[in-house]
């Protein structure tokens, strides 16, 4: 009985001592993350799915959602209607949705697939310029970058996300701008 009471008191003491230490470590880690400078988004120039060239740096001053994808990729396809909805909702507020398709068939493959789903946002063809994905550090598809008006990478999402995630970032950046 006495041994059990001492053990319980010992565990409570450890918890009382460890809780402030854990909070200090967490606070320190959070402040390190928030004080890190955001990295500049690499510039590139690609043609859209209709052959019109676009230099991504022409979009400086806008919030850019930059999505790396392929049209056959199921997780990528789930995001197409999300980006359409975001485009329709925020296009007049300085937000630009841009996707880069890396399908092996290039525009011949990307254009029909994107037209079929009624894509309204800009779709670039990255098939012949894999350096773009390498410069951004893309490791899998879909990967989406949230880029600030002053051309800094604000967030990176690997894998598909729901609309609320992207919309939350857009609203945050619209309030910060």
What topology does CATH give the domain 45-176?
Glutaredoxin (3.40.30)
Encode pLDDT of 89-132 as tens digits.
999 999 999 999 999 999 999 999 999 999 999 999 999 999 99
pLDDT in the model for residue 31 = 27
More confident residue, 28 or 91: 91
Give residue limits of the domains in the chain: 1-36, 45-176
Encode pLDDT of 63-91 as tens digits.
999 999 999 999 999 999 999 999 999 99
Nearest to 59 by CA among 110, 114, 124: 124
Distance CA 18, CA 33 (A): 23
More confident residue, 30 or 144: 144
Task: Give the strand pairing for 95-101 and 63-69.
Answer: parallel
| Secondary structure of residue 69 in the 3-state scheme | strand
- pTM, rounded to two decimals: 0.79
**Helices (H) then strands (E): counts for the chain:** 5, 7
pLDDT in the model for residue 176 = 73
CB atoms within 10 A of CB 131: 11
Residue 23 has pLDDT above 90, yes or no: no
Q: Is the dihedral of CA 132, 135, 137, 143 positive or negative?
A: negative
**Residues 6 or more apart whose Cβ sits within 8 Å of residue 15:** none
């Amino acid at each position: 009985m006495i041994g059990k009471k001492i053990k319980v008191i010992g565990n409570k003491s450890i918890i009382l001592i460890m809780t402030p230490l854990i909070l200090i470590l967490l606070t320190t880690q959070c402040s390190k993350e928030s004080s890190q400078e955001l990295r500049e988004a690499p510039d590139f120039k690609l043609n859209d799915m209709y052959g019109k060239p676009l230099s991504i740096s022409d979009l400086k001053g806008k919030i850019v959602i930059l999505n790396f994808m392929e049209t056959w990729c199921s997780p990528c396809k789930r995001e197409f209607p999300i980006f359409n909805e975001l485009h329709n909702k925020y296009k007049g507020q300085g937000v630009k949705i841009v996707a880069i398709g890396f399908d092996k068939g290039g525009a011949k493959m990307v254009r029909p697939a994107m037209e079929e789903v009624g894509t309204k946002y800009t779709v670039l063809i990255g098939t012949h310029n894999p350096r773009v994905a390498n410069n951004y550090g893309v490791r899998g598809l879909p990967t989406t970058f949230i880029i600030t008006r002053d051309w800094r990478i604000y967030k990176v999402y690997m894998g598909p996300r729901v609309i609320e995630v992207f919309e939350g970032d857009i609203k945050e950046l619209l309030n910060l701008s």
